[in-house]
């Protein structure tokens, strides 16, 4: 039996996803747009990862496309379309550097980088992202050697909260519980946080 076409206008295709994407990450990205009935993550050959997300209402799916197509996630622009209009999988034509008009219009929402140290051995990006999301919208996270990482927030307020609230916080990974340090990666932003924005 074929797929019910009535579901197409409330099902969203999301491409250009990182290989380690989880259902909870996708739900987090789309939580502001309405109730989600199903998330189906696909792993195609050649490292291509994409997903189909079914919303309860068609208008919510349309809003998700409007707000998330071209959105920077893990350093790459997402490709988001209503399923009926999707013509390919993975990165497609909208590769690195692509921004939709809606995304360009939202460029006043700057991104702010923080440095993190003291992470337990074996910390995964997803674990650090979940911890840092207590402060705001994390758009990028990369872990280096010796327990160090860089985390990028969308918006000044979330980054500022992370420095104020999560510096000195404790994170547990595989039974290791360690205190992490969080600070501005850019000295100009650290100065800005002391004097107030603007």
pLDDT at 65 over 70: yes
Same domain, 93 and 119: no
| Residue 95: strand, helix, or coil | coil
Same domain, 97 and 128: no
Final residue of a structural domain among 105, 122, 140: 105
Same domain, 132 and 82: no
Same domain, 124 and 178: yes
CATH at 155: 3.30.70.330
For range 40-69, the mean pLDDT: 87
- Structural domain span for residue 47: 5-105
With pLDDT > 70 as the criterion, what percentage of the chain qualifies? Answer: 75
pLDDT at 100 over 70: no
Question: For the chain, what is the domain count?
Answer: 2
Q: SS in 3 state form for 99-150?
A: CCHHHHHCCCCCEEEEEEECCCCCCCHHHHHHHHCCCCCEEEEEECCCCCEE
Same domain, 138 and 188: yes
Same domain, 82 and 21: yes
Reported pTM = 0.50
Please report the pLDDT score of residue 5 as a whole number.
53
- Beta carbons within 10 angstroms of residue 146's beta carbon: 8
With pLDDT > 90 as the criterion, what percentage of the chain qualifies? Answer: 37
Same domain, 128 and 49: no
Query: Residues 40, 42, 48, 54: what is their CA dihedral angle, to the nearest 10 degrees?
Result: -20
Same domain, 98 and 9: yes
Same domain, 18 and 100: yes
pLDDT band of 134, cuts 50, 70, 90: very high
For range 57-62, the mean pLDDT: 91
Token code pair at residue 24: 């909870």
pLDDT digits (tens, 9 = 90+) for 75-98: 788 889 887 644 433 333 344 444
* Residue among 103, 135, 98, 101 nearest 116 (CA): 135
């Amino acid at each position: 039996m074929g797929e019910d076409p009535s579901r197409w206008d409330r099902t969203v295709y999301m491409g250009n996803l990182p290989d380690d994407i989880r259902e909870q990450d996708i739900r987090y990205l789309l939580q502001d747009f309405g109730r989600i009935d199903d998330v189906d993550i696909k792993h195609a050959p050649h490292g291509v990862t994409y997903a189909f997300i079914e919303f309860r209402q068609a208008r919510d799916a349309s809003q998700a496309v409007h707000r998330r197509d071209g959105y920077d996630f893990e350093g790459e622009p997402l490709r988001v379309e209503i399923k009926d209009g999707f013509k390919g999988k993975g990165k497609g034509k909208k590769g690195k550097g692509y921004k939709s008009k809606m995304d360009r219009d939202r460029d006043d929402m700057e991104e702010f980088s923080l440095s993190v140290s003291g992470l337990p051995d074996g910390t995964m990006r997803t674990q650090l992202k979940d911890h840092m999301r207590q402060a705001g919208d994390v758009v990028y996270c990369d872990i280096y050697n010796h327990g160090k990482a860089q985390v990028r927030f969308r918006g000044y307020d979330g980054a500022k909260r992370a420095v104020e609230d999560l510096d000195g916080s404790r994170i547990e990974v595989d039974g290791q519980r360690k205190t992490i340090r969080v600070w501005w990666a850019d000295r100009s932003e650290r100065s800005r946080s002391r004097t107030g924005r603007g």
